[in-house]
A and B are shown apart, each in its own frame.
Chain A
Amino acid sequence: MKAHMENMVEVRNLCKNYNTFSLKNVNFSLPEGSIMGFIGENGAGKTTTIKLLLNEVKRDGGKIRIFGMDNIKDEIKIKSQIGTVFDESYFYGGFTVEDIERILKNVYKTWDSSLYAQYLRDLSLPRNKRIKEFSKGMKMKLSIASALSHHPRLLILDEATSGLDPVMRSEILDVFLNFIQDEKCGVLFSSHITSDLEKVADYVTFIHNGSIVFSSSKDELADNFGILKCGASEFPNLDHSDFLRWRKGSFECEALVKNKAQVKRKYPDCIVDNATLDEIMLFYIKGEKV
């Protein structure tokens, strides 16, 4: 883990109410030089949080500070240092990558044409082909090249790798890892493909039903979270206060625990496995509350 100085993003008690959904007191911080995976099922509040960070929707409560500045008061200053990649390309299909450059170099003062050209080369994007002829992966690569060519400090990705094949995803993840080599930069990476986050994220924030379940370093999660497995008949005799969530199979019961080592010592006859991000998510979403 890198030594971190400051928080690039600080979200405090963020609230947003819609008719059928609410974001409730969301809190998390993204330290400089790190990649934060923002996970949760579809409709959990990831995109709403990102829209609030970008001031695309109005918040009903709370504070957001990015680079130490208020995201509404200093919106333009902040946005000029942010690169965003969404789940689909929002460029008109009739444009070429050169058209995109013509537009964006007149939007960002720090646009770097040679860096853009380098990304186009590295990501094998043709200059004269129209975007509508691109595959989904190529469109995503173009979005990433466009998001990085003005030397942003913060990259915000909303489901940027969804729907891409593993090879393309791995190529894109390498770009993010390269970007983060500069310790003044950071990435907030919303995704429900947890395997991608397990590869690249330093921190993981899990949102469920509009509330943050946890926000901590990936290493802490790996060290602490575990899955206890035991026979269905044995399960009622265990101390349920040790469990966060549990589920019952045909022959055995499984429970998500937050203090793996302690639980292992307490129940030496039970198996306590490591928990993947996918399993943690599934337990919180589908598992029974204790």
Chain B
Amino acid sequence: MKGLLIKDFLYLKQQGRALLVLLIFFVAFAVMSKGGAMTAISGLAVAVTLVVVINTFAFDEGSKWDIYAFSLPVRKKQIVLEKYVFLIFMTAAVTLISGIFAFAFQGMENFSETLLTLAACAGIGITICSVILPFVYRFGVQKAWLICLIIGIAVPMIFTPLIRQAHLNTLGEEAITRISWSLPFIVALIFIGSYLISCRIVENKEL
């Protein structure tokens, strides 16, 4: 699996210039938005994780890497696991960089709030990628993007009215704390579930 991880990090190296441009955007956003730097950085962090991870699939598809990878002494499950490990690495790296920027531009005031925002962003990044990855394995990168765009539009359209009706703003502080603490477990469950679905798809895949 280490070799496959190295391949994806080498892809990352190939995207060096594009990532540098993004980093400059990070700085520009943070400088321009001053007080709201955290929101800008958080949004970008999720987008970068998503793009970098999905791009590794696009590079694989472009070179038909899967056909070769399936001939290597690596189990199909490990080939899938590598992408999920890469997602964790990317999330950790992007969260770390975001944290450095956030603290550099906002100082240490609101420390716990900043940490919470960073954790929330990491969770959102992992959740979105976890939803997309099985679609990528099943339909390929291009179709997966389209499907996820449809989901991205449909889910808020369906759930926003439901959430409004549920009067979540009337929830007590204790309930909100309980929900907040359960969120990491929900993200972990989505992540593991996504991995298992992807494994099943790849096991049954015939190239």
Docked-complex contact B206 and A58, CB < 8 angstroms: yes
In A81-104, the 8 Å CB interface with B consists of 82, 84, 86, 88-95, 99, 102-104
Partner among B59, B65, B73, B207 whose Cβ is within 8 Å of the Cβ of A56 = B207
Say yes or no: is B70 at the interface (Cβ < 8 Å to chain A): yes
Docked-complex contact A76 and B67, CB < 8 angstroms: no
User: Smallest Cβ distance from A192 to chain B, in angstroms?
Assistant: 19
Docked-complex contact A56 and B67, CB < 8 angstroms: yes
Docked-complex contact A103 and B6, CB < 8 angstroms: yes
Docked-complex contact B75 and A57, CB < 8 angstroms: no
Docked-complex contact B3 and A92, CB < 8 angstroms: no
The residue in chain B whose Cβ has the minimal distance to the Cβ of A56 is B70
Say yes or no: is B63 at the interface (Cβ < 8 Å to chain A): yes
Docked-complex contact A82 and B10, CB < 8 angstroms: no
In B64-120, the 8 Å CB interface with A consists of 64-65, 67-68, 70-75
* Docked complex Cα distance between A103 and B4 (Å): 7
Docked-complex contact A91 and B72, CB < 8 angstroms: no
* Docked complex Cα distance between A51 and B206 (Å): 9
Say yes or no: is A264 at the interface (Cβ < 8 Å to chain B): no
Say yes or no: is A105 at the interface (Cβ < 8 Å to chain B): yes
Size of the A side of the interface (Cβ < 8 Å), in residues, is 31
The residue in chain B whose Cβ has the minimal distance to the Cβ of A91 is B63
User: Smallest Cβ distance from B4 to chain A, in angstroms?
Assistant: 7
* Docked complex Cα distance between A144 and B2 (Å): 22
Q: Which residues of chain A come closer than 8 Å to B71, judged between CB atoms?
A: 54, 56, 79, 82, 84, 156
Say yes or no: is A217 at the interface (Cβ < 8 Å to chain B): no
A51, A56, A102, A105 interface centre (most CB from chain B within 10 Å): A56
Say yes or no: is B143 at the interface (Cβ < 8 Å to chain A): no
* Docked complex Cα distance between A203 and B26 (Å): 63
Say yes or no: is B177 at the interface (Cβ < 8 Å to chain A): no
Docked-complex contact B3 and A86, CB < 8 angstroms: no
Partner among A86, A90, A92, A107 whose Cβ is within 8 Å of the Cβ of B73 = A107
Partner among B63, B70, B72 whose Cβ is within 8 Å of the Cβ of A92 = B63
Q: Which residues of chain A come closer than 8 Å to B60, judged between CB atoms?
A: 92
* Docked complex Cα distance between A57 and B70 (Å): 10
User: Smallest Cβ distance from A5 to chain B, in angstroms?
Assistant: 25
Q: Which residues of chain B come closer than 8 Å to A95, judged between CB atoms?
A: 10
* Docked complex Cα distance between A109 and B129 (Å): 32
Say yes or no: is B11 at the interface (Cβ < 8 Å to chain A): yes
Partner among A58, A92, A103, A156 whose Cβ is within 8 Å of the Cβ of B59 = A92
**A residues whose Cβ falls under 8 Å from a Cβ of B:** 51, 54-58, 75-77, 79-80, 82, 84, 86, 88-95, 99, 102-108, 156
8 A-B residue pairs with Cβ-Cβ distance under 8 Å, sorted by A, are A54-B71, A86-B67, A90-B65, A92-B14, A99-B10, A103-B3, A103-B4, A156-B71
Minimum-distance CB pairs A-B, first 7: A106-B3, A90-B68, A107-B3, A79-B73, A80-B73, A84-B71, A106-B2
User: With contacts A82-B71, A108-B73 known, what are 19 further pairs, Cβ within 8 A?
Assistant: A56-B71, A57-B206, A57-B207, A58-B206, A76-B74, A79-B73, A88-B64, A90-B64, A90-B65, A90-B67, A92-B60, A93-B63, A94-B11, A102-B10, A103-B3, A103-B6, A107-B2, A107-B3, A156-B71
**B residues whose Cβ falls under 8 Å from a Cβ of A:** 2-4, 6-7, 10-11, 14, 59-60, 62-65, 67-68, 70-75, 204, 206-207
